[in-house]
A and B are shown apart, each in its own frame.
Chain A
Amino acid sequence: MAARAEFLERIRREVAKTPGLFGASTAPRPSDPAAGAEAIRRELAERWPEALERFRQEFERVAGVFHRVRDLDAVPDAIADIARERGIRSLVTWDPAVLGFDAAAALSGRGLSVIAARAGEEHEVGRRRHRADAAAAQLGVTGADLVLAETGTLILLSGAGRPRSTSLLPDVHVAVFGRDRLLENLEQVGVMLEALHVDPDRAMSGAMINFITGPSRTADIELTLTRGVHGPKEVHAIFVEAA
């Protein structure tokens, strides 16, 4: 505590030498983030088709693969196709209760091994088993909590039944989302993030938010663009029309 007090006192002394130096201000913040978020949702209820098209373009520009299906029942088929084309046999998914569909039930009969993370299994054995499953899986299925059109970005909140590694350790990541997740620009993301943090303990069950913009990439060897250096080599987004 002494270190903290001393540390801050030193900064306070320096800061005191600067009053009036600058008239600068920080970014304007929504006065009522929840209402701001609600307003954005209302606007997007009209404009989502344009946002979706922009998302598709930007997502493909960052090497994402875009799919579109009619309803949640069609999602397992789309996932099975992605797996079959790549010779993939082992999948991990977020908790079906979070996703809104049960890929395991639909796909297990087709020669695919599907392991779903379950909320409520956070005991030591559950953790160890989950990590081994995630590390061995070739494809991971998640939802997307926000989908940013301007940059082709999927935004995922971690939490109960939503492991961080499902979108990270497997070679292929598939995210499934509906129209109500779409946002047009980063400014709207700012409002949403403010709204999430008004009462974060209720809004989020996890400690991490990931913005995912295309597959993992590097250009560290002679500036040659290479995909899948640590994270997924491919990212797929499945848009569900009736979700």
Chain B
Amino acid sequence: MSEELLRTPFPERAGAALQDAFLQEALTIATTKFIDLRKEAFAGFPAGEALRDRARAIKEATLQHLDVHLERLADNVERLGGTVHWAATGEEAREIVLRLCRDRGVRMAVKSKSMATEEIDLNEALEHAGVTPVETDLGEYIIQLAHEKPSHIIAPAIHKTKGQVAELFSRELRGQFPADPEVLTGVARKALREKFLQADMGITGANFAVADTGTVVLVTNEGNGRMVTSLPRIHVALMGIEKVIPSMSDLVVFLAILARSATGQKLSSYTTLVRGPRRAGELEGPEEFHLILLDNGRARQIASTLREALYCLRCGACLNVCPVYRQIGGHAYGYTYPGPIGILLTAMLKGNRSVRELAHASSLCGACKDVCPVRIDIPRMLIELREHLDREKIAPWTERVVFRAFRRLLLSPTAFRLSARAGRLLQRPFVRQGRLRGLPLLFGRWTRTRDLPPVAARTFRERWKELR
């Protein structure tokens, strides 16, 4: 995300999104539709709940022996003639791709949608090095032409109207195109077909990687994932280390719940299993296959607060149900991964300081946990994250002082009794229709958008004394 945008504080970014009438409508329509599709998909799939438990268990068990599975994956990929690269940071991963481009004279790279490449800002690095990266997922292509960033993990361009896309295509692809999604899709098909056939390198992420067989698995609907892994002479797959799973038996468990959670499909149109470069008898397929294993802050969470965030399948279900995401959309979060899981992933990848404000962009309602295919306890981790922000003195001092005082007050019976009495007196001017409204000073920030129940005329402790 551009530094410029991040210089605006989160409340302002969110505020701007709330003022954007089109965005508001688009978000409501899209997220509601995704919610309904997901609900329907699981309603007709009684085995789904047990499979979600199983999927979660697989992720837990795999992380427990992550080193073993990664070694196995790497050994198998190499045995198949692929090359494995180990990138501790985003910068190292970028450097690996750029070196490959330089050494092999790559001028154009076609990409299928990959959050991991977004995470390391690969496109900017490629452009800077004189390599043209072409996003080929339709949504990502639109975003790239418009020089924007994705606003949803699986529907990157939901914030754009068909009119805006028509205008964009007409300008960038030189033509006069009507605001008709079918026509516009055809225009993109034609433009991108040429790129697929010309490109020297295909770059993908990985939805899964099967350690046992050395297989990288891509799930797509458009078929671009197949194009970029079949047509260019080099295939580079970039994956976070947490994407490894042990076996094909594990893979089918995830396949059964991934598309249902994301788009309500039983399976996405294409599930592509890649085992290294093309083999001797094949007419097609890349001569070279490179797998980049990316850490970038993941490993240090294996035994830490954000461990469960490493289970994430990037399905986007938690975005759709989140009352905050539904109002502000993906851009306001300001980082690659939006939504409730995005807050945790941002903390993981960029450090706790980066989520100083975002850690509070959740009502902790738990809807995200309910829909997560692997039942990640996002609310619990958000609370723990807030605790860390306090302990590491990242939270604003005002917040820390207020909560510390509050804590003291709750720990001492005397202080509690006295403050209840004081509160009853002090609150008088602010109680309207039985609620606390328009509080002064710091407290006003709460009551600006919400009210509070007032301190009761008699506290429980006072009543308890009499009842006894």
Question: Which residues of chain A come closer than 8 Å to B67, judged between CB atoms?
Answer: 8, 11-12, 15
Report chain A residues within 8 Å CB of B90: none
Q: Is B447 an interface residue (CB 8 A)?
A: no
Q: Which residue of A lies closest to B74 (CB)?
A: A4
A229 touches B188 (CB 8 A): yes
Q: A200 touching B189 by the CB < 8 A rule?
A: no
Tell me which of A10, A117, A213 has the highest count of chain B C-beta atoms within 10 A of its own C-beta. A213
A150→B33 CA distance, assembly (Å) = 24
Point out the residue from B88, B158, B185, B273 that lies within 8 Å of A208, measured CB to CB.
B273
- Whether A205 contacts B281 by the Cβ 8 Å rule is yes
Enumerate A209-243 residues with CB–CB distance to B below 8 Å: 209-224, 226, 228-232
CA distance A213 to B265 in the complex (A): 10
Q: Is the CB of A230 within 8 A of B224?
A: yes
Total interface residues on B, CB under 8 Å, equals 98
CA distance A206 to B188 in the complex (A): 30
Q: Is the CB of B62 within 8 A of A26?
A: yes
Judge whether A26 and B250 touch: CB under 8 Å: yes
- When distances are taken between beta carbons in the complex, the residues of chain B under 8 Å from A208 are 229-230, 272-275, 285
User: With A3-B86, A186-B256, A216-B222 in contact, is A126–B227 under 8 Å at CB?
Assistant: no
Asked if residues B281 and A29 are in contact (CB atoms below 8 Å), the reply is no
Task: Report the Cα distance A58→B267, complex, angstroms.
Answer: 11
Chain A's closest residue to B163 (CB) is A222
- Residues on B with beta carbons closer than 8 Å to the beta carbon of A27: 54, 58, 247, 249-250, 252-253
**A231 to B138, alpha carbons, bound, how many Å?**
12
Instruction: Enumerate chain A residues within 8 angstroms of B277, measured Cβ to Cβ.
Output: 207
> How far, in angstroms, from A19 to B231 measured CA to CA in the complex?
44
Interface segment among A39-47, A66-74, A103-111, A127-135: the answer is A127-135
The contact of A221 among B85, B157, B213, by CB within 8 Å, is B157
Q: Is there contact, CB below 8 Å, between A230 and B136?
A: yes
* A206 vs chain B, min Cβ distance (A): 5
Residues of chain B lying within 8 A (CB to CB) of residue A223: 29-30, 33, 155, 158
- Which of A3, A122, A210 makes the CB contact (< 8 A) with B283? A122
Given A211-B267, A216-B223, A218-B222, also A119-B281 (CB < 8 A):
yes
Q: A210-B270, A221-B157 are in contact. Are A29 and B283 (CB under 8 A)?
A: no
Alpha-carbon separation in the docked complex, A11 to B69 (Å)? 11
| A200 and B86 form a contact (CB under 8 A) | no
What residues of chain B lie closer than 8 Å to A131, measured between beta carbons?
197, 231, 284
A5's nearest neighbour on chain B, judged by CB, is B86
- Contact yes or no, A193 B248, CB < 8 A: yes
Any A CB within 8 A of the CB of B200:
no
Q: How large is the interface on A (under 10, 10 to 19, 20 to 34, 35 or more residues)?
A: 35 or more
Complex Cα distance A159/B158, Å? 38
Given contacts A24-B58, A190-B251, is CB(A153)–CB(B226) below 8 Å?
A: no
Interface pair A220/B61, CB less than 8 Å apart: no
Q: What residues of A have a CB within 8 angstroms of the CB of B427 in the complex?
A: none
A85: interface (CB < 8 Å):
no
Q: How far is the CB of B113 from chain A (nearest CB, A)?
A: 10
List residues of B (25-82) whose CB comes within 8 Å of A's CBs: 26, 29-30, 33, 54, 56-58, 60-67, 70-71, 74, 80
Extra 12 A-B pairs, beta carbons < 8 Å, given A22-B60, A218-B139: A7-B86, A15-B65, A119-B281, A158-B284, A168-B226, A187-B252, A194-B249, A205-B280, A209-B273, A211-B272, A220-B138, A230-B192
Contacts from B to A (Cβ < 8 Å): 26, 29-30, 33, 54, 56-58, 60-67, 70-71, 74, 80, 84-86, 88, 136-139, 142, 155-158, 160-162, 165, 181-182, 184-185, 188-189, 192-193, 196-197, 212-213, 221-224, 226-227, 229-231, 241, 245-253, 255-256, 263, 265-285, 293, 295, 299-300, 302-303
Give me 8 A-to-B residue pairs in the complex whose CB atoms sit less than 8 angstroms apart, sorted by A's number: A26-B249, A29-B249, A117-B283, A130-B283, A186-B252, A207-B282, A213-B268, A222-B26
The 7 tightest CB contacts between A and B, nearest first, are: A231-B223, A160-B281, A17-B303, A24-B60, A220-B139, A211-B271, A190-B252
Give A contacts to B, CB under 8 Å.
Answer: 3-4, 6-8, 10-12, 14-15, 17-19, 21-22, 24-30, 58, 62, 117, 119-122, 126-127, 130-131, 135, 150-153, 158-161, 163-165, 168, 186-187, 189-191, 193-194, 197, 200, 205-224, 226, 228-232
